[in-house]
Chains A and B, each alone.
Chain A
Amino acid sequence: MAEFEPVLLANIHKTDSHTLPVYQAAGGYAALKKVLAGMSPVDVVELVKASGLRGRGGAGFPCGLKWSFLPKDHPGPIYMCVNADESEPATFNNRILMELDPHHVIEGIIIGCFATRASTAYVYVRYEYPTAFQRLQQAIDECYASGFLGKNIQGSPFSLDIFMHRGAAAYICGEETGLIESLEGKRAWPRIKPPFPAIEGAFRKPTVVNNIETMANVPHIVNRGADWFKSMGIPSTGPKDPGSYGPKLYCISGHVNKPGCYEMPLGITCRELIDRYGGGVWKGRKGKAAIPGGLSMGLFTEKEFDTPLDFAVPGKVGCLGLGTAAVTVMDETYSMIDYLHNACRFFAHESCGQCTPCREGTSWSERILTRIKHGKGRLKDLDILLSIAGAIGIIPGTTICGLADGAAWPIKNAINKFRGEFEDHIKRTNPTGYAQEEPAEALQLVELVH
Chain B
Amino acid sequence: MPAPPTTATPVLTPAMRAEIEAFIPRYPTKQAVTLPALHVVNEHLRCVPMEAIPEIASILELAPAQVYDTLSFYGFFKPSPCGKVRAWVCRSISCALRGGEEVLSALSDKLGVKAGQTTADGKVTLEFGECLGLCDFSPAMLAGTKVYKNMSVEQVDEVAALLKEQADQHG
- The interface on chain A, measured as residues whose beta carbon lies within 8 A of the other chain's beta carbons, has a size of 58
Complex CA distance for A345 and B142, rounded to whole angstroms? 20
Whether A391 sits at the interface, judged by CB under 8 Å, is no
- A7 vs chain B, min Cβ distance (A): 20
Indicate whether A186 sits within 8 Å of B38 (C-beta atoms), given known contacts A89-B94, A91-B133, A169-B76: no
* A168 x B76 contact (CB < 8 A): yes
Whether B28 sits at the interface, judged by CB under 8 Å, is yes
Residues of A within 8 A of B31 (CB): 184-186
Whether B120 sits at the interface, judged by CB under 8 Å, is no
Residues of A within 8 A of B131 (CB): 87-91, 295, 346
* A342 x B133 contact (CB < 8 A): no
- B94 vs chain A, min Cβ distance (A): 4
Residues of A within 8 A of B66 (CB): 185-186
Q: Chain A, 77-100, contact with B by CB distance < 8 Å: what is the 0/1 string?
A: 100000000111111101100000
Indicate whether A260 sits within 8 Å of B136 (C-beta atoms), given known contacts A253-B94, A349-B130: yes
- A430 vs chain B, min Cβ distance (A): 23
Complex CA distance for A129 and B73, rounded to whole angstroms? 20
Among B33, B77, B138, residue most surrounded by chain A Cβ atoms (within 10 Å): B138
Whether B132 sits at the interface, judged by CB under 8 Å, is yes
- A341 vs chain B, min Cβ distance (A): 9
Residues of A within 8 A of B73 (CB): 170, 187-188, 352
* B93 x A168 contact (CB < 8 A): no
Other-chain contact of B97, A77, A128, A328 (Cβ < 8 Å):
A328
Whether A221 sits at the interface, judged by CB under 8 Å, is no
- B65 vs chain A, min Cβ distance (A): 12
* B130 x A185 contact (CB < 8 A): no
Q: Chain B, 63-92, contact with A by CB distance < 8 Å: what is the 0/1 string?
A: 000100110111111000000000010011
* B97 x A255 contact (CB < 8 A): yes
Residues of A within 8 A of B129 (CB): 128, 169
- B27 vs chain A, min Cβ distance (A): 8
* B142 x A128 contact (CB < 8 A): yes
Residues of B within 8 A of A254 (CB): 93-94, 97-98, 135, 138
Q: Chain A, 28-69, contact with B by CB distance < 8 Å: what is the 0/1 string?
A: 000000000000000000000000000000000000000000
Complex CA distance for A375 and B97, rounded to whole angstroms? 21
* A328 x B75 contact (CB < 8 A): no
Whether B59 sits at the interface, judged by CB under 8 Å, is no
Whether B17 sits at the interface, judged by CB under 8 Å, is no
Residues of A within 8 A of B128 (CB): 450
Other-chain contact of B92, A86, A163, A167, A342 (Cβ < 8 Å):
A342
Whether B39 sits at the interface, judged by CB under 8 Å, is yes
15 A-B pairs with CB atoms under 8 Å apart are A128-B133, A128-B142, A168-B35, A170-B75, A183-B32, A187-B72, A253-B138, A260-B136, A295-B92, A295-B93, A328-B93, A342-B91, A346-B93, A450-B91, A450-B128
> Which residues of chain B have a CB within 8 Å of any CB of chain A?
26-29, 31-36, 38-39, 60, 66, 69-70, 72-77, 88, 91-94, 96-98, 101, 104-105, 108, 114-115, 128-138, 142, 144-145, 147
**4 closest cross-chain pairs (CB), A and B:** A185-B34, A187-B73, A253-B135, A89-B131
> Which residues of chain A have a CB within 8 Å of any CB of chain B?
77, 86-92, 94-95, 126-131, 134, 161, 163, 165-171, 182-188, 203, 251, 253-255, 259-261, 291, 295, 326, 328, 330, 334, 338-339, 342-343, 345-346, 349-350, 352, 449-450
